[in-house]
């Protein structure tokens, strides 16, 4: 792991890349030298094919033809055939089988003519089928010797079948100029230095272009971020330092985009909150001002019953303002995380009965029946009883407010398989429109489009209830169909059965 991290460092990767490219340039230069300066002379393909496939056959044919000619005709034959194979840099010569001296040659100035004679026994050995010309060197002490150039020997048979002469084919001597075989060290060193400098410049330019391109990508991304394009990202997945920098930049941009979006949402919410609070405060305040002005102007002309009715309306509006302020303070504490929760183990039915008692007056005014249903063996729950009581009361008041006259609001308790206790508050009102369901827990949303407003409402009760349930690790949900009422549900963690039994006893 440490080694792989070390290999991803930029100060290691850049020199390694530079060295690798220099080695590549050197290898290309070496291969070029091998194929040009140091490459030995190459034989022509047609010449090589003649030596390997045709030379032996043709020389054997010329030897057979020479056996039928008079000795004075051998020179003409040698010259005629020698002219034909001159293109292959080859020569032929006839040697006497007894003395080994030259009888005829393809040209007077040819090498074999200059040699004059060859050992007859050596020629006889070369004429044998098993002689390997590419492995046997008759004169290993002198690589320029004529006998080392012979590539084929054929016997010229006499009338009795015994050899009277030998026909030998040989290469011409290679002639080179001194500059062809001598390398100039100074010129080679100068050429190597120039190639090295050019290669180093090319490699350095490639490495710097690679680094500059990646840095320019980071610079472009930073400029885009500065210009407000928060969705711009760096497309660099390398494992080196610049790659880590690009990913860190992407993380920063993502976090910044999230924060700015959150700030925009909060700013929009605050504007909406101020508008809603202003609206909800203005309505009761306007009503208060109207009734107070009426009392101030007509108090002496009013009878006692009308006077008491006006005072009751003023009291209701003041109570509504008081509830609105309390709700605002509570939702702000919940948002700021300053609300304190006192978790303890308790029986839910007892808490529900207390809530129903507090809601009886408002329910009786509309003829709504309140009921709590639960199984005989219900475990204890671990929660904050005061906060849960407020959640249930908010849901009950919501059901009473929007339920039908003479209907019912039912609280059902049940133990779920996951050892949680579900609390369900159901009413039989007009239900909630499907377009309103996604917004039912939003602050100041009262669902006026689907459930007619009956009485004053701050639109914060369900939002507070949802927030309290969320603090208990659960989620407040709602199911409703128009004309069939609404059912609100949430779950609380149950205490084990042993504790429940001991608490009941």
How deeply is 423 buried, as exposed, middle or buried, from its count of CB atoms within 10 A (0-12, 13-18, 19+)?
A: buried
Q: Is 114 helix (H, G, I), strand (E, B) or coil?
A: helix
Task: Name the residue with higher pLDDT: 139 or 13.
Answer: 139
For residue 311, the model assigns a pLDDT of 80
- Opening angle at CA 266, ends 337 and 394, nearest 5: 55
Partners of 83 in beta bridges: none
pLDDT at 93 over 90: yes
Contact in structure between 260 and 244 (CB atoms under 8 Å): no
To the nearest whole percent, how much of the chain has pLDDT over 90?
A: 19
pTM: 0.44
**Residues pairing with 488 in the sheet:** 425, 478
Distances (CA, A) of 233 to 211, 237, 261, 262, 494: 18, 12, 17, 20, 48
Q: Residue 503's Cα: distance from chain center in Å?
A: 58
Q: What is the tens place of the pLDDT at every residue in 264-292?
A: 877 776 676 666 666 566 666 777 777 78
So what's the pLDDT on residue 505? Answer: 45
Tokens for 431, please give them: 């239900």
Domains of the chain: 2-41+179-222 (no CATH), 45-173 (3.30.450), 241-334 (1.10.287.130), 340-504 (3.30.565.10)
| Secondary structure, 3-state, 255-315 | HHHHHHHHHHHHHHHHHHHHHHHHHHHHHHHHHHHHHHHHHHHHCCCCCHHHHHHHHHHHH
Task: Give SS3 for 366.
Answer: coil
| DSSP H helix total and E strand total for the chain | 15, 11
Q: What is the C-alpha to C-alpha distance for residues 345 and 322, in angstroms, rounded to an integer?
A: 32
**How far apart, in whole angstroms, are the C-alpha atoms of residue 294 and residue 287?**
11
At residue 174, the pLDDT reads 54
Query: Regarding predicted confidence, which is higher, 207 or 179?
Result: 207
Residue 413: predicted pLDDT: 94
Q: Are strands 90-96 and 163-171 parallel, antiparallel or unpaired?
A: antiparallel
Q: 274-296 b/e with 16+ CB inside 10 Å = b?
A: eebbeebeeebeebbeebeeeee
The residue among 149, 127, 158 whose CA lies nearest residue 64 is: 158
Residue 295: pLDDT over 90: no
Identify the band that residue 432 occupies on the pLDDT scale cut at 50, 70 and 90: confident
The crossing angle, in degrees rounded to 10, of helices 241-298 and 304-336 is 170
pLDDT at res. 327 = 63
- Taking phi first (over 0 means left), then psi (-120 to 50 degrees means alpha), and beta for anything else, what does residue 481 get? beta
Number of Cβ within 10 Å of residue 151's Cβ equals 17
Please give the Cα distance from 453 to 432 (Å, whole number).
12
Burial grade of 102 (CB within 10 A; 0-12, 13-18, 19 or more):
buried
Q: How far apart are CA 103 and CA 355, in angstroms?
A: 141
pLDDT tens track for 227-262: 878 777 887 767 666 777 777 878 888 888 888 888
pLDDT, tens digit, 9 for 90 and up, residues 357-414:
888 888 888 899 999 999 988 999 999 998 898 899 889 988 888 888 889 999 999 9
> DSSP strand E in 355-401: where?
369-373, 381-383
Write out the DSSP string of 474-494.
Answer: ---EEEE-TTS-EEEEEEEEB
Determine the Cα–Cα distance for residues 336 and 272; give it in Å rounded to an integer. 18
Q: Give the integer Cα–Cα distance in Å for 441 and 466.
A: 7
Q: How far apart are CA 38 and CA 200, in angstroms?
A: 24
Structure tokens at 62: 């010329």
Which of 19-23, 250-254, 314-318, 325-329 bottoms out in mean pLDDT, i.e. has the lowest? 325-329
- Whole-number CA gyration radius for the chain: 56
Q: Which of 144, 141, 47, 142 is nearest to 86 (CA)?
A: 47
For β-strands 408-415 and 369-373, DSSP reports them as parallel
Q: Is the pLDDT of residue 166 over 90?
A: yes
8 A C-beta contact, residue 102 and residue 112: yes
DSSP class of 109: T
pLDDT exceeds 50 at position 209: yes
């Amino acid at each position: 792991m440490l080694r792989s991290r070390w290999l991803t460092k930029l100060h290691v990767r850049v020199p390694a890349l530079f060295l690798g490219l220099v080695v590549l340039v050197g290898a290309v230069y070496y291969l070029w030298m091998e194929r040009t300066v140091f490459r030995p002379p190459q034989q022509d393909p047609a010449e090589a094919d003649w030596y390997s496939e045709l030379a032996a056959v043709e020389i054997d044919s010329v030897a057979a033809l020479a056996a039928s000619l008079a000795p004075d005709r051998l020179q003409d034959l040698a010259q005629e055939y020698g002219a034909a194979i001159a293109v292959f840099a080859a020569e032929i010569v006839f040697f006497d089988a007894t003395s080994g001296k030259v009888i005829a040659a393809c040209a007077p100035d040819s090498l074999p003519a200059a040699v004059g004679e060859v050992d007859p026994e050596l020629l006889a050995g070369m004429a044998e089928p098993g002689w390997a010309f590419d492995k046997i060197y008759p004169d290993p002490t002198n690589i320029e010797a004529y006998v080392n150039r012979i590539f084929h020997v054929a016997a010229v048979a006499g009338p009795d079948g015994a050899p009277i002469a030998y026909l030998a084919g040989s290469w011409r001597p290679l002639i080179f100029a001194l500059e062809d075989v001598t390398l100039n060290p100074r010129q080679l060193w100068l050429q190597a230095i120039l190639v090295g400098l050019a290669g180093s410049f090319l490699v350095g330019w490639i490495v710097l272009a690679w680094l500059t391109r990646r840095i320019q990508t980071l610079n472009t991304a930073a400029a885009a971020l500065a210009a407000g394009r928060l969705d711009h990202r760096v497309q660099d997945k390398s494992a080196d330092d610049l790659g880590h920098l690009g990913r860190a930049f992407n993380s920063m941009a993502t976090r910044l985009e999230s924060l700015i979006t959150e700030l925009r949402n909060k700013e929009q919410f605050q504007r909406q909150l101020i508008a809603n609070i202003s609206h909800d405060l203005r309505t009761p305040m306007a009503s208060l001002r109207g009734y107070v002005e009426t009392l101030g102007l007509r108090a002496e002309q009013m009878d006692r019953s009308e006077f008491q009715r006006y005072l009751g309306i003023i009291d209701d509006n003041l109570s509504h303002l008081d509830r609105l302020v309390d709700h605002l303070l509570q939702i702000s504490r919940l948002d700021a995380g300053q609300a304190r929760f006192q978790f303890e183990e308790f029986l839910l039915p007892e808490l529900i009965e207390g809530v129903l008692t507090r809601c009886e007056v408002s329910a009786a005014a509309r003829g709504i029946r309140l009921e709590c249903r639960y199984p005989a063996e219900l475990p204890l729950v671990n929660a904050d009883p005061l906060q849960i009581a407020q959640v249930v009361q908010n849901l009950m008041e919501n059901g009473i407010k929007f339920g039908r006259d003479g209907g019912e609001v039912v609280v059902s308790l049940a133990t779920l398989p996951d050892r949680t206790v579900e609390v369900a508050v159901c009413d039989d009102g007009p239900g909630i429109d499907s377009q309103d369901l996604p917004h039912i827990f939003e602050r100041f949303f009262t669902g006026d489009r689907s459930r007619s407003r009956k009485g004053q409402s701050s639109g914060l009760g369900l939002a507070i209830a949802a927030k309290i349930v969320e603090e208990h690790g659960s989620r407040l949900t709602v199911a409703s169909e128009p004309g069939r009422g609404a059912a609100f549900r949430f779950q609380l963690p149950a205490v084990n059965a042993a504790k429940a039994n001991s608490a009941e006893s």
